[in-house]
Amino acid sequence: MLVIGLTGGIGSGKSTVAKLFAEHHIPIIDADLIARELVEPEQPALQELVDNFGPDILLPNGTLDRHRLRDLVFSDDLQRKSLEKILHPLIRQSMLERLELVGDTPYAILVIPLLVDTGHWEMIDQILVVDANEETQIERVMQRDGFTRKQAQSIIDTQISRENRLEAADQVLKNTGDITQLRNSVELLHQAYLAESEESKIQYTAENTSRKGTVYELPLNERIRTLLRLEQLFDRAEHHIEHNDIQSAHCVIQSLVEINNLFRGDIKSEVIKELERQYASLNRHIDFPGINKSVLQDLLKRIEQNVSSIHDINEQLDQHLQNDLLYNSVRQRLSIPGGTCSFDLPLYTHWLNSADANRQETLITWFKPYIPLRDAIATCLGAIRNSADAIPCIADNGFYEHQLKRKTHAQLVKIIVDAKQAYYPTITANKHRLNIRFMEWKTGDSKSPQTKSNVDFSLMICGI
């Protein structure tokens, strides 16, 4: 998904442009609207503002007196910086969370008035500046907000210069006040963004062959991070169910407890959103040259089945365990080192030493309700992993830096290293680059140093 940062000086027409993009059903995330939500009554940010600026910034009904606060901060640089220090991190975090929840869409618009002023918006792929001359800005602000010319000018003076804003722009929309001309300009940009987004999609192929070596994975968003953790726990639980000895039975329960602890919010809804996003994206590629249409159709059908199976779950995934005496007795004691001894839980000891078939039947019954989610996660992660080919790379002196393309919708990084090599990678990433350092394996208490050797490895930047 392409992320466009929409910005411009006060009175330039950002809101009008955002509405025109919204007419094309493009998601709009507006920093000003989020800022208003953050200072509603009973919100923590409002109390922090009162603590910093005093109770006079509140109206009699307990809401924020925006005019009073504006007068305070625009007449005093220190006060303005204090306001920004309180609100900007909260706005940024909220915008990131909302962007993460955006469904399948070719691109999204983030409306950020101070985008160029503040910087550090790594999630932005391109900057679109709405531009108007200063006199037009002043007239619009006076008419819209009832400000005096002096007040409007003072706000403009606190913002970054028009020249610096234009210098940072990838695209510029001239807003002279002619709505027809502005609408036509937005239409042209919309088509350009659609084309660029389509080009940026990683082409699906089923031709990826198995790759030997140790695989290291780094998720690039929280949703994929959670799915990877759940996948590992499901694999561990199934492995120990099949082995069906006393120690394996204990490991199954530990895995189930961790799975249930990992459920934050509505995990079913999160998985469905990701699968539906993948379905829409992959379906658009079904007639692309070089695509194995039969394989892709099978994947789309499997996604449909996974979504349907999760929709059929009418209760919480751990509902069947919430009143189970044996499970809950063990769960409560697992936080205590060695807390499941026979003198702690004689019931558990009795069950562990029961017939193998009975013990396995219990574990299968406990695990069965999770199978639709396990299958859906396997489909989801499998599609992402198969979305890219491995690139042979060399880490000079144990270090490798990879620039992430702006238009790449990367969700997962995979590094494949020959298992015979005595190195392991540490990976850090942000929106723009990926840094990989290969460390030498050391035992004991000595810290692993970065190797000075050149390391051959394979790199995959995966995403749909």
CATH of the domain at 149: 3.40.50.300
pLDDT at 210 over 50: no
Q: Return the pLDDT at 443.
A: 73
Claim to verify: residue 155 and residue 30 sit in the same structural domain: yes
Q: Return the pLDDT at 120.
A: 62
Claim to verify: residue 379 and residue 407 sit in the same structural domain: no
pLDDT at 392 over 70: yes
Share of the chain above pLDDT 90, in %: 39
How far, CA to CA in Å, does 411 sit from each of 161, 222, 387? 36, 10, 10
- Considering only residues 448 and 122, tell me which one the structure prediction assigns the higher pLDDT: 448
Q: Around Cβ 396, how many Cβ atoms within 10 Å?
A: 11
> Which segment of 164-173, 188-197, 377-386, 451-460 scores lowest on mean pLDDT?
188-197
Claim to verify: residue 310 and residue 163 sit in the same structural domain: no
Claim to verify: residue 139 and residue 19 sit in the same structural domain: yes
Claim to verify: residue 381 and residue 395 sit in the same structural domain: no
pLDDT at 211 over 50: no
Q: What is the CATH number of the domain that holds 356?
A: 1.10.3900.10
Claim to verify: residue 187 and residue 239 sit in the same structural domain: no
Range of the domain at 239: 221-385
Q: Return the pLDDT at 250.
A: 95
Residue appearing with tokens 């558990």: 348
Asked if residue 318 belongs to a domain, the reply is yes
Claim to verify: residue 374 and residue 240 sit in the same structural domain: yes
pLDDT (mean) for 284-290: 76
Number of structural domains found in the chain: 3
Q: Around Cβ 348, how many Cβ atoms within 10 Å?
A: 20
Quote the DSSP letter at residue 335: T
Asked if residue 74 belongs to a domain, the reply is yes
Question: Hey, is 304 helix, strand or coil?
Answer: helix
Q: What is the CATH number of the domain that holds 410?
A: 2.60.440.10
- Considering only residues 199 and 378, tell me which one the structure prediction assigns the higher pLDDT: 378
What average pLDDT is seen over the chain?
86
Claim to verify: residue 408 and residue 448 sit in the same structural domain: yes
Claim to verify: residue 452 and residue 355 sit in the same structural domain: no
Q: Closest Cα partner for 137 from 110, 119, 157?
A: 157
> Which segment of 36-40, 204-208, 410-414 scores lowest on mean pLDDT?
204-208
pLDDT at 444 over 80: no
Residue 208 pLDDT grade (very low, low, confident, very high; cuts 50, 70, 90): very low
pLDDT at 207 over 90: no
Q: What would the pLDDT profile of 71-114 be if each residue is shown by its tens digit?
A: 888 777 788 888 888 888 888 888 888 887 776 788 899 999 88
Q: Rounding to the nearest 10 degrees, give the CA dihedral for residues 356, 361, 366, 369.
A: 140
pLDDT at 221 over 50: yes
Q: Return the pLDDT at 244.
A: 79
Q: Return the pLDDT at 111.
A: 94
Claim to verify: residue 249 and residue 327 sit in the same structural domain: yes
Task: Please answer whether residues 255 and 332 qualify as being in contact, where contact means their C-beta atoms are separated by less than 8 angstroms.
Answer: no
pLDDT (mean) for 406-420: 85
- Considering only residues 199 and 160, tell me which one the structure prediction assigns the higher pLDDT: 160
Q: What would the pLDDT profile of 310-342 be if each residue is shown by its tens digit?
A: 988 877 888 899 999 999 999 999 989 999 999
Claim to verify: residue 193 and residue 233 sit in the same structural domain: no
Claim to verify: residue 395 and residue 375 sit in the same structural domain: no
Share of the chain above pLDDT 70, in %: 94
Residue 160 pLDDT grade (very low, low, confident, very high; cuts 50, 70, 90): confident
Task: Characterise 315 by phi-psi region: left (phi > 0), alpha (psi -120 to 50), beta (else).
Answer: beta
Rounded Cα distance, 45 and 35, in Å: 10
From 200, 235, 255, give the residue that closes a domain: 200
- Number of helices (H), then strands (E), belonging to the chain: the values are 18, 12
Residue 42 pLDDT grade (very low, low, confident, very high; cuts 50, 70, 90): confident
Rounded Cα distance, 427 and 411, in Å: 14
Asked if residue 206 belongs to a domain, the reply is no
Q: What are phi and psi of 407, to 5 degrees?
A: -90, 5
Asked if residue 8 belongs to a domain, the reply is yes
Q: Return the pLDDT at 257.
A: 94
- Considering only residues 284 and 366, tell me which one the structure prediction assigns the higher pLDDT: 366
pLDDT (mean) for 288-313: 85
Q: Return the pLDDT at 158.
A: 81
Rounded Cα distance, 170 and 217, in Å: 33
pLDDT at 201 over 70: no
Q: Closest Cα partner for 330 from 317, 318, 347?
A: 347
Q: Return the pLDDT at 203.
A: 33
